[in-house]
Amino acid sequence: MGTLTIKLLSYSISQSFKTTLPEMSSTSILRSTLIAIASFLFSVSSQAGIENVPPAKFLELANRNNGIILDVRTPEEVAQGHISGASVLNIYDKDFERKLNLMQKDKPIYVYCRSGGRSSKAAQTMNANGFKSIYNLTGGIGAWNNAKLPLEKTDNVPAEKAAPLSRNDFEEKLAAKSVALADFHTEWCMPCKQMAPIIDNLEKEFANQASIIRVDLDSSPELGSSFEVQGVPVFILFVDGKEQWRHSGTIDVHVLQAKIASAL
């Protein structure tokens, strides 16, 4: 614990003794004090892994670490400008928590909204779901703009939703060739978007030798559950219908090339 935590803990204990000493037995005092300590430690630990940071620090950390920037605003807000490289996941989406759990939990997450309220709630949800390191932008995009930090705008045209893929459909695609690479992704995930052109090129390169199977987990969540996919993008290499290798997150094209080539 830090110095401030220890001081607050000491104050909590002293207050417990002051308010209970006149009318309580030593056993009751001890019990009351232990309850106070447990409650205090729980409130401290419940925020472990979440750090509120100002814009300049947020930018520094995002540039320095191999993490994921997450914008939890509405599409209309995002269209007005967003931080470069951000994945976009509307906190008001009814499937927000399910989609959140598709992200890589072992990477730092840099989350923001308009003013910091929604991102704080998102950070707490991530914390409760096992994300290890979460940085919340204090003051949100408002503070970011006040600090005169850059935003970028992109066309706010929703991607056409992929057709659902059933397990039978998937098995048929697996059976088409002895070697298949399955790409489990979502349209809102920036690392997935970064990998998309690489997968397109691999499909052309191995057109006559291996299948590339694309699975949009927003359209086909059951397939994601079936293969226990977490941390999109996820790539699974199948040989004769059986999983031989998998990787979560972005990956160098040469590694993917070598994996497919070695399975042929």
Q: Which are the catalytic amino acids? A: 113
DSSP string, 190-206: HHHHHHHHHHHHHHHHT
Dihedral angle over CA of 133, 138, 143, 147, nearest 10: -60
Torsion angles phi and psi, residue 238, rounded to 5 = -110, 140
Please measure the distance between the N-terminal and C-terminal CA atoms of the chain and give it in whole angstroms.
54
Residue 68 contacts by C-beta under 8 Å, 6 or more apart in sequence? 87, 103, 104, 107, 108, 109, 110, 190, 191
Q: Which of 159, 241, 224, 233 is nearest to 202 (CA)?
A: 233
How many angstroms separate the CA atoms of 7 and 120, rounded?
A: 25
Residue 240 contacts by C-beta under 8 Å, 6 or more apart in sequence? 178
Q: How many CB atoms lie within 10 A of CB 82?
A: 21
**Strand-strand pairing, 109-112 and 68-71:** parallel
Alpha-carbon radius of gyration of the chain: 24
Peptide bond into 197 cis (omega under 30): no
**Contact, 112 vs 137, CB < 8 A?**
yes
- The identity of residue 193, as a single letter, is K
